[in-house]
Amino acid sequence: TGGTINGTGSLEIQAQAVGSDTMLARIVKMVAAAQRSRAPIQTVADRISGWFVPLVLAISVLTFIAWYVTGPAPRFGHALLNAISVLIIACPCALGLATPMSIMVGTGRGAREGVLVRNAEALQALDKVDTLVVDKTGTLTEGHPRLIGLDVTEGWQETDVLRLAASVEAQSQHPLAQAVVRALKDRHGDPAPVSDFASQPGLGVSGTVDGHQVVIGNAERLKQAGADTTPLEAAATARRQGGAGVMFVAIDGKLAGLIAVADPLMADTQATLAALHADGLRIVMLTGDNETTAKAVAKAAGHIAEIHAGLKPQDKADIIRHLEASGARVAMTGDGVNDAPALAAASVGIAMGTGTDVAIESAGITLAHGSLGALVRARMLAHATMRNIRQNLAFSFLFNGIGIPVAAGALYPVFGMLLSPMIAGAAMALSSVTVVTNALRLGKEPVTPMRPTDTRHTGSI
């Protein structure tokens, strides 16, 4: 089926997209589109340009009149040359190049670093965010959990419960489901055929195996199926306190067991969160997992200020809307289908490149290699790009603020100097070259790490 991921095994593949329709070509197109996009800061230059042009024309006319009325002979010649010099030196080329050149270089730099920017607006938003919301599974953790325990109720054997549960989970793409399937295969078992398979995101899955109605999920999902999870709640709590995720299994409407799976943190999770926290971000974790498990993972990861557990996909989006309504500027990082609404709701969505296509399409930025450490580079890139844009805009305004009075003859009464149109043209061209050169510097300059004292973050983006 289109869009599925082959975790293990071999496949016979028929190529249905080549050339410009391939994923690589789509990435190239996305980067090119981002380089052509406009950052909101560009509107500052646009608004100023709207007033700048008529103002310069007015200054040119006033310069002509002032020199023609009060200037030395030949008055007309001096008036005409100075008026023309004002028009030439004030040509707003540098102002027009300030933002797009930085965006083009910055997004290209990001692509080389594994940070794919969909549009310039996302880059500017990432520079300003003060709250980072992260998913747990596949974002903070590796997304490749393994089964670490199986508890069953009286009357059931572990092998039977695992076989029935794994047969249903084999129909799911969820990483926790695949952990159950791998556990069955490691015990040399094969999933049985399943009918009536159904998935409820954030709750669990169900299906019919060998005539048995099997439901796997959280306590709420089993309650819907009419099963009481009380007999195994103590065992579930103990598993969660150890950082494991728990899935209850009901067979024919009665509790049969619980499956405990553990998903280790990514190698760079702790260092990444430390760096982002040092950069002033408040980190919030959202997960559909149980609160006890979520707290154990958050404690191991460190620097997580707030935890929301047991969430459905829409709950994540609602929390982000609430955060933004309270004044926070939110970036959301996730990788799954259930993260897509939250990614779309945030000021900037950041998808893991190893995640689902739905998540990637919902996000403004994609971390191509699926490493959370790339989020540090993305944040640094956003800072560097916006700083570069502000430098370019400041130089453009400063150049015109000094150049126009000089071209109008402000130095003549003191130094007897006038700026010829030829020199004014050269100065105008030099301003554009300066802006372009500063933007190109963004592509090569080392960017100061967020935490210089932490060698795990040294290097350049």
**Residue of 127, 135, 263, 339 marked catalytic:** 135
pLDDT at 72: 86
Instruction: Provide the pLDDT confidence category of residue 28 given band limits of 50, 70 and 90.
Output: low
pLDDT at 94: 77
pLDDT at 322: 93
Phi-psi region of 407 (alpha: psi -120 to 50; beta: other; left: phi over 0): alpha
pLDDT at 248: 94
Which residue did the predictor score with more confidence, 29 or 410?
410
Strand order across the 131-135 sheet: 115-117, 365-367, 348-352, 330-334, 131-135, 282-286, 306-308
What is the three-class DSSP state of 16? coil
Tell me the backbone φ, ψ of residue 351, rounded to 5 degrees. -100, 145
pLDDT for 304-322, tens place per residue? 999 999 888 788 889 999 9
Instruction: Provide the pLDDT confidence category of residue 461 given band limits of 50, 70 and 90.
Output: very low
Rounded to whole angstroms, the Cα distance separating 416 from 422 reads 18
Best-predicted range by mean pLDDT (101-110, 240-249, 252-261): 252-261
pLDDT at 455: 34
The per-residue pLDDT of the chain, averaged, comes to 83
Question: Measured between alpha carbons, how far is residue 193 from residues 163, 165, 197, 210 in Å?
Answer: 11, 12, 10, 8
- Of the candidates 267, 263, 262, 297, the residue with the CA atom closest to the CA atom of residue 283: 297
Instruction: Provide the pLDDT confidence category of residue 256 given band limits of 50, 70 and 90.
Output: very high
Residues in the chain: 461
pLDDT > 90? residue 360: no
% of the chain with per-residue pLDDT over 90? 27
pLDDT > 70? residue 460: no
Q: Is 135 a catalytic residue?
A: yes
User: Are the beta carbons of 364 and 127 closer than 8 angstroms?
Assistant: no
Best-predicted range by mean pLDDT (9-13, 414-418, 441-445, 451-455): 414-418
Token pair belonging to 35: 């380089």
Instruction: Provide the pLDDT confidence category of residue 209 given band limits of 50, 70 and 90.
Output: very high
Instruction: Provide the pLDDT confidence category of residue 274 given band limits of 50, 70 and 90.
Output: very high
pLDDT at 428: 84
DSSP 20-73: GGSHHHHHHHHHHHHHHS--TTHHHHHHHHHHHHHHHHHHHHHHHHHHHHHSPS
pLDDT for 147-184, tens place per residue? 888 999 998 999 999 999 999 999 887 778 888 998 88
Best-predicted range by mean pLDDT (4-8, 45-49, 144-148, 273-277): 273-277
Residue 165 makes CB contacts below 8 A (sequence gap 6+) with 180, 214, 216, 247, 249, 257, 259
With 0-12 CB in 10 A as exposed, 13-18 as middle and 19+ as buried, what is 81? buried
Instruction: Provide the pLDDT confidence category of residue 26 given band limits of 50, 70 and 90.
Output: low
Encoded amino acid at 112, one letter:
R
Query: What average pLDDT does this structure show over 369-381?
Result: 87
pLDDT at 451: 45
pLDDT at 288: 82
DSSP 89-140: HT-THHHHHHHHHHHHHHHHHHHHTTEEES-HHHHHHHHH--EEEEESTTTT
